[in-house]
Amino acid sequence: MGMKEYIEEAEAALLHTYNRFQIVLDKGEDVYLYDTEGKRYLDFVAGIAVFALGYHNEEYNNALKEQIDKLIHTSNYFYNEPAIRAAKKLLKVSGMDRVFFTNSGAESIEGALKAAKKYAYLKDGCTDHEIIALNHSFHGRTMGALAVTGNPHYREAFEPLIGTVKFGEMNDFTSIEALVTDKTCAIILEPVQGEGGLTPATEEFLSQVRSLCDEKDILLIFDEVQCGMGRTGYMYAWQRYGIRPDILTTAKALGCGVPVGAFLLTEKVAQASLTSGDHGTTYGGNPLALAAVDKVLELYEKNHVVEHVREVAPYLEQRLLELTEKYDCILEHRGVGLMQGLLFDRPVSPIINKAIEKGLLLINAGPNIIRFVPPLIITKEHIDTMITILQQCIEEQ
């Protein structure tokens, strides 16, 4: 069956909630993907910052195969060895104290919000607490995650959503301070906004928000679903600033392709929030997913993945800055580590489509921004190839 026939069958069967590119991917190797007709694509998407270790990593694949032959699922009525090993490793690299494993980033946000609300409820017995989030943020598509996502377009068809959520501005502390009341239970933000345009928080802003939370006993939630797991050159972006949150969410590269996420808490919050019966999941923390997490964290350490990001990310930034200076249509360069973006003066979909034709996979972050979130094993040679193709696409538009 050819790609056209595959796509026709997909369109007849699947709910149309995605505007997919017109290719059917079949397999991957290193930092390349191949479609069903054998065409090769250099991948600067990584499944939206998921496949940090690249494709067809033999050690990773073997770990999953071995676990499949042993045990895939038991439910959380029982302990399992992969979950215990993964939890221990994740707490070590994240700098947090307790972890709850989920199936996705959105679920980790839901758990984080519930923990914050329960923490506040135990303090005063009230259920009318408020949350402060940021404009241009993105936290997921489930109802709780959607409620704190700072884009009205995503929310409007599904309101009313949870509780009272107010929105401030990234890197504008006065806009946050003005929203705080005695009902505020949490402030949630991405240290580096992903879907919202690859905007990093400043250290001053995070420090001010942290101090405010400490003063008012408000919980600070960092959403590191996209910017975590080494993408900024630190295992988690909070470590770049030295400003630890009360609750941390993670997913995407945590499982490098296997659906898994987590929310992590300080001991203080863990002991004064969710207890038995407050939260649960059938699949979260199952042996197969946590065997993936266990192996991913092992390979990060063994292969010095974070150190590699620190070595290669400045080169990507340099090459993108060169493009920014060369082309008037590029207004701004943004980002940190291997989470970079270029803001154009026009919609970028024509450039992205041309790149696909030339064997390069890119995605956007909003209509005018190209986002670069490649596998973390990318090399300077891969970056040069990407830049060459991207220049051709810009000049041909």
Residue 29 falls inside a structural domain? yes
- Kindly state whether residue 63 falls inside one of the protein's structural domains: no
Residue where a domain terminates, one of 265, 282, 302: 302
Specify whether the CB–CB gap between 103 and 135 falls below 8 A: no
What would the pLDDT profile of 277-326 be if each residue is shown by its tens digit? Answer: 999 999 999 999 999 999 999 999 999 999 999 999 999 999 999 999 99
CA-CA distances (angstroms) from residue 371 to 88, 89, 105, 307, 336? 33, 30, 19, 22, 12
The reply to whether 114 and 242 lie within a common domain is yes
What is the gyration radius of the CA atoms in the chain, in angstroms? 21
Q: Which of 91, 77, 147 is CA-nearest to residue 265?
A: 91
Q: What is the phi-psi region of residue 337: left when phi exceeds 0, alpha when psi lies from -120 to 50, beta otherwise?
A: left
* Domain membership flag for residue 280: yes
Banded pLDDT at 1 (limits 50, 70, 90): confident
Element spanning 360, H or E? strand 360-361
Mean pLDDT, to the nearest integer, of 80-96? 98
The residues near 250 (Cβ < 8 Å, ≥ 6 apart) are 90, 94, 105, 108, 224, 225, 228, 229, 236, 261, 262, 263, 264
How does pLDDT run across 38-77, given as a tens digit for each residue?
999 999 999 999 999 999 999 999 999 999 999 999 999 9
Of the pLDDT bands very low, low, confident and very high (cuts 50, 70, 90), residue 24 is very high
Residues 126 and 221 in one domain: yes
Say yes or no: 232 and 259 in one domain: yes
Q: Is residue 12 part of a domain?
A: yes
Model confidence pTM above 0.85 = yes
Query: Is the domain of 309 the same as that of 245?
Result: no
- Show which of 286, 302, 318 is a domain's final residue: 302
Tell me, yes or no, whether 62 lies in a domain: no
Assigned domain for 61 exists? no
Could you read off the pLDDT of 321-357 as tens digits, one per residue? 999 999 999 999 999 999 999 999 999 999 999 999 9
List the domain range (segments joined by +) for residue 49. 3-56+304-396
pLDDT at residue 184 is higher than 90:
yes
Start-to-end Cα distance in the chain: 32
Q: Is the pLDDT of residue 202 over 90?
A: yes
Write out pLDDT tens, residues 205-262. Answer: 999 999 999 999 999 999 999 999 999 999 999 999 999 999 999 999 999 999 999 9
pLDDT at residue 91 in the model: 98
Average predicted confidence (pLDDT) for the chain:
97
pLDDT value for 382: 98
Q: Which two tokens stand for residue 104?
A: 């996705």
HEC string of 43-55?
ECCHHHHCCCCCE
Tokens 């979260």 found at = 284
What is the sign of the dihedral through the CA atoms of 284, 286, 290 and 292?
negative
My answer on whether 111 and 35 are in the same domain is no
Angle at 394 between CA 388 and CA 397, to 5 degrees: 140
pLDDT for 397 equals 80
Q: What is the CATH number of the domain that holds 342?
A: 3.90.1150.10
The number of angstroms, rounded, from the C-alpha of 366 to the middle of its chain's C-alpha atoms is 16
- Judge if 340 and 385 occupy the same domain: yes
Same domain, 254 and 148: yes
Q: Which of 94, 363, 75 is nearest to 225 (CA)?
A: 94
Average pLDDT over residues 363-378: 97
CATH of the domain at 195: 3.40.640.10
Starting at the edge strand found earlier in the chain, the sheet holding 130-134 runs: 98-102, 261-265, 247-250, 219-223, 184-189, 130-134, 164-168
Q: Count up the domains in the chain and report the number.
A: 2
* 297 and 166 housed in the same domain: yes
* Residues 111 and 206 placed together within one structural domain of the fold: yes
Q: What are 43's strand-pairing partners? A: 361
Do 308 and 298 fall into the same domain?
no
Residue 163 has what pLDDT?
A: 82
User: Does residue 64 sit within a domain?
Assistant: no
Q: What is the mean pLDDT of residues 365-382?
A: 97
Asked whether residue 177 is assigned to any structural domain, the reply reads: yes
Residue 12 shares a structural domain with residue 145: no
pLDDT band for 90, please (50, 70, 90 cuts): very high
pLDDT of residue 371: 97
| Residue given tokens 């939630």 in the structure block | 221
- Among 267, 302, 337, the domain-final residue is 302
Which pLDDT score is estimated for 335? 96
Are 190 and 290 contained in the same domain?
yes
CA dihedral 231, 236, 241, 244 (to 10 degrees): 160
State the amino acid at position 35 in one-letter form: D
